DNA sequence: GCATAAATTGAACGCTCATTCAATATTATA
DNA sequence: TATAATATTGAATGAGCGTTCAATTTATGC
């Protein structure tokens, strides 16, 4: 029911903003450049996003929505089988799938804004809590983990995943990269195993 | 022997750059603003740092040097006693000490540049490798860990530390913050214990 | 103390920035 | 079809940006 043209244009603009930020960096992407890229005057962009701050705020919402998409295939599986293998999900977290959804450079540029903007910080925190809650939901359906503190386990798994993402982004050599991925993946498997074993 | 005035001025400029970036963000800190802050014309800044890129490059070197200072008190202890308790060091990593040395906002702003600048990426990677090597050196002097893969252990410890730093920066409530710090600290203790136990 | 080099100044450059505004074109409503 | 609302245009604004340069002050070495 809501205004269709308006919504489409907004999506288009945020998409262009994201694309250019990916190429040239967030700090080098001006409203004029977005306009040129999309073939529209800067004034049209400012019609939909009255200030640059609002524009950035919307880019961040877009980015955080993208992040949640890592669960997309998992949720379908959950619906069909009422179960999803935690190990498979961990593999997925460490695969390149996430990079396909979201550019790391843009992500960390936006992340660095949390330190001077409380609203952005809150938005990031909520996203990270959602990521953990979703993992907890997956863990809760695994019977080997029944009765365990899956909230704690999800927290511990994700802190390794996030540390790994951060650290691995410094390595270009695919061989070294894969070697390190294996280490961190095993580190998470150990956590899962530790919880499973306590059950016996 | 080297030029004293020049070196002092350079330090002063980088210091001012860092201070203003802390307050207003890296992307909002211009050469003119640094000049005004330090009471010198922008042309003097450009005399010592011919381009803004070079200025940023030097800021990053400064920041990474600051990070290594987390080891300062530890190295003295190592020299005196030829031993440093790994648990004490882990506590130190999770304390606020690191935040005193370095502002998180500036740190992550600079970090986000690794994705479009290979030289910065390399510099960050080298720093992180140093952090791990230093921890390995501490672990190697602990007899309960003798003969163990301390390189792997250091890697696994730091990935938790780095994930924790990232995630914890989203929490302002001191109570929640402390609760989560405890979780991640225990996670690292578990890693240490796991390696120690295997020894018996 | 004089020559040379280094440090410092201040004015100026062209460019890009986010933002504004009034005018026009398009679409929706009645 | 007339009217109102929305979408789009293009030109203009002043401020701030990184950078250049020639001139001047200060320090250094002989």
> What average pLDDT does range B122-128 have in this prediction?
98
Q: Does B114 touch chain A (CB under 8 A)?
A: yes
User: Would you state the structure tokens that stand for residue A65, as one six-digit string?
Assistant: 């929505």
Phi, psi of B159 (to 5 degrees): -70, -30
What b/e string do you get for A113-150 counting C-beta neighbours within 10 Å, with b at 16 or more? bbbebeebbebbbebbeebbebbbbbbebbeebeebeb
Measure A8 CA to nearest chain B CA, in Å: 30
Give the pLDDT confidence of A34-89 residue by residue, as tens digits. 999 999 999 999 999 999 999 999 999 999 999 999 888 888 888 888 888 899 99
- Quick count: other Cβ atoms within 10 Å of Cβ A42? 14
Q: What is the pLDDT of residue B199?
A: 44
In angstroms, how far is CA B128 from the centroid of its own chain? 8
Question: What local confidence, expressed as pLDDT, does residue A197 receive?
Answer: 64
Average pLDDT score, chain B:
93
Selected for mutation to probe chain A from B22, B67, B159, B176 (highest A CB count within 10 Å) is: B159
Mutation site for A-interface testing, chosen from B167, B181, B190, B191 by largest number of A Cβ within 10 Å: B167
**Is residue A15 packed enough to be buried (19+ CB in 10 Å), middle (13-18) or exposed (0-12)?**
middle
What does the alpha-carbon distance between residue A30 and residue A52 come to, in Å, rounded to a whole number? 9
Which pLDDT value is given to residue A1? 39
What percentage of residues in chain B have a pLDDT greater than 90?
80
pLDDT tens digits, residue range B90-120? 999 999 888 889 999 999 999 999 999 999 9
Domains, in order of start, for chain B: 4-50 (1.10.10.60), 61-199 (1.10.357)
What DSSP character marks residue A50?
S
| pLDDT classification of B1: cutoffs 50, 70, 90 | very low
Q: Which nucleotides of D are covered by protein (CB under 7 A)?
A: 6-12, 16-22, 27-28
Q: How much is the pLDDT for B3?
A: 64
Residue of B114 and A199 predicted with greater confidence:
B114
Q: What is the pLDDT of residue A127?
A: 97
Q: Using CB atoms within 10 A of its CB, is residue B29 exposed (0-12), middle (13-18) or buried (19+)?
A: buried
> Could you give the CA distance from residue A39 to residue B40 in angstroms, rounded to a whole number?
42
pLDDT of residue B57: 98
Rounded Cα–Cα distance for residues A184 and A178 (Å): 10
Instruction: Report the alpha-carbon distance of residue B30 to residue B35 in Å, rounded.
Output: 9
Confidence at residue A106, expressed as pLDDT on a 0 to 100 scale: 97
Q: Is A108 on the interface with B (CB under 8 A)?
A: yes
The answer to whether the beta carbons of residues B100 and B107 sit under 8 Å apart is: no
State how far the Cα of A12 lies from the Cα of A91, in Å rounded to an integer.
Answer: 33
Residue B82 DSSP SS3: coil
Q: Categorize the per-residue pLDDT at B191 as very low, low, confident or very high, splitting at 50, 70 and 90.
A: very high
Cα A34 to Cα B93: distance, rounded to the nearest angstrom:
42
Q: Looking at residue A199, what is its pLDDT? A: 44
Identify the pLDDT of residue B198: 55
- Asked if A159 lies within 8 A of B155 by C-beta distance, the reply is no
Q: B82: distance to nearest CA of chain A, Å? A: 30
- pLDDT score recorded for residue A97: 85
What integer pLDDT is reported at residue A60 of this predicted model? Answer: 98
Query: Across all residues in chain A, what is the average pLDDT?
Result: 93
Nearest CB among B156, B166, B180 relative to A166 is that of B166
b/e per residue, B70-99, with b = 16+ CB within 10 A? bbeebeeebeeeeebebeebbeebbeeebe
What is the pLDDT, as a whole number, of residue B73?
Answer: 85
Q: Does B162 touch chain A (CB under 8 A)?
A: yes
Confidence band of B197 (pLDDT split at 50, 70, 90): low
Is the minimum distance from the CB of B30 to strand D below 7 Å? yes
CB-based contact B169:B104 (threshold 8 Å): yes
pLDDT band at residue A198, thresholds of 50, 70 and 90? Answer: low
């Amino acid at each position: 029911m809501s205004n269709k043209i308006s919504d489409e244009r907004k999506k288009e603009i945020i998409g262009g903003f994201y694309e250019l930020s990916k190429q040239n960096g967030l700090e080098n992407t001006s409203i004029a450049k977005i306009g040129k890229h999309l073939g529209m005057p800067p004034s049209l962009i400012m019609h939909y996003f009255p200030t640059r701050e609002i524009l950035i705020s919307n880019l961040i919402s877009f980015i955080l929505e993208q992040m949640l998409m890592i669960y997309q295939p998992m949720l379908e599986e959950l619906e069909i089988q009422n179960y999803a293998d935690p190990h498979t999900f961990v593999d997925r977290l460490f695969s390149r799938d996430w990079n396909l959804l979201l550019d790391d450079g843009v992500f960390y540029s936006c992340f660095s804004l949390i330190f001077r903007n409380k609203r952005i910080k809150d938005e990031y925190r909520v996203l990270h809590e959602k990521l953990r809650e979703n993992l907890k939901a997956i863990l809760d359906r695994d019977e080997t983990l029944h009765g365990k503190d899956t909230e704690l386990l999800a927290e511990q798994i994700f802190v390794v995943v996030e540390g790994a993402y951060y650290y691995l982004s410094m390595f270009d050599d695919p061989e070294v990269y894969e070697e390190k991925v294996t280490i961190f993946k095993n580190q998470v498997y150990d956590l899962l195993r530790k919880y499973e074993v306590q059950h016996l």
